[in-house]
A and B are shown apart, each in its own frame.
Chain A
Amino acid sequence: MNQGMKALVLGLALSAPLAVAGNGTTAEHIEAATAAYKQLAKDTGYQWTVTVKAIKAAQKALKEGDDAGARKLAHQAMDLVEATRKQAKIESETWQMRVPK
């Protein structure tokens, strides 16, 4: 991956709003991330493999009793969903630029 790409990916990730960190059980946070992922896929068709990985890792951590780790992963997944949503929005507005005329 070139530097520009890395910066862009990082930018997308950082600009994603922080998921609500406070209320609810960790299992609920994982569920919320999963639901958000599925809803976005339904709305836009955009899905990132890393989001699925984060969700699965969160489920595994929770099962193994690592509540804090699981919660962190669930929030990561939620941030990735938000970054994906941003990508879908930007793309729906700008993709025509790439079509040769």
Chain B
Amino acid sequence: MNKAGIIGYGVSIPHYRIKTTEIARVWGKDGEHIAAGLGVKEKAVGSFDEDSATIAVEASRRAVKMAGIDAQKIGAIYIGSESKPYAVKPTAATVADALMAGPDLMAADYEFACKAGTAGIQTCMGLVKSNMIDVGLAVGADTAQGLPGDALEFSAASGGAAFLIGREKCIADINHTYSFTTDTPDFWRRQHEEFPMHAGRFTGDPAYFKHVVSAAKKMLEIAKTKPSDYAHVVFHQPNGKFPVRVGQMLGFSKEQVQTGLITPVIGNTYSGASMIGLAAVLDIAKSGDRILCVSYGSGAGSDAFDLTVTSEISKHKPVAKVQDLVADKEYIDYAVYVKHRRKLKSL
């Protein structure tokens, strides 16, 4: 069987941050209490000139540089997002032109709430393994919006990650992938509506926990592994608490979850969340490390990946490490945040 793995990756996190306490101040809520409850201290705010397309391009350019390939080698591009700049017009085509990867390639945008980016990784794996392409690009990028005053506003953030999938010189082999999918109405946004709806407490147990646990358990079964075989585990991270709790449920320690847990300092980047977490782990991973990554998308489903880091990792340095992007920041207040995210109708 042909193999497929990661040959490069890149991350984009906006420059601006807003603190949970600053959002809470505006709504007369207890910010410290909310930050502790969510496990989110601050979130990344996309600037007025950023959208999921610009974030996808910036992350993808870094991935191509890291892999050290000619972008013309890319045979397929899939962009996962739930905050597309256009309702109809593919972001994948913009990314292709901005990388000078076209015009000879397959391209499409994917939608599956927060797991559309990892669905793109699976598609690229299939195309690479079947020899239809040499290299595929999968991106998860979002500029997530929460209704002002809603609980989601404290975590909905902007950011994204891009992964190049190929078969030669992989920095991490993807040994297995498995997905778990059911029709679950935990979170949605209707056509032409600006902000999403969520089913409150329903978003926990029957949605996130059920799907992530089911996908992870089955993945361990397929890979014939146990939690202690993994150096790191990355889960989708709508907040800072769920990944730690789901890790405990599955038998992973806090330390195994820690490196890939980025939401506490940038917020929930939706399609970007688990992929940025995986990038943060790869930033510090060593040859031979085993990694488990499980995404989650409302509606609902989880994609699980079992990876092994190879010796190639020492030859390919990330263009920008996740922790450096996290540290490159400037705080804004709620008024400037409203301006950047165009929360006033006149903007």
Determine if chain A interacts with chain B: no
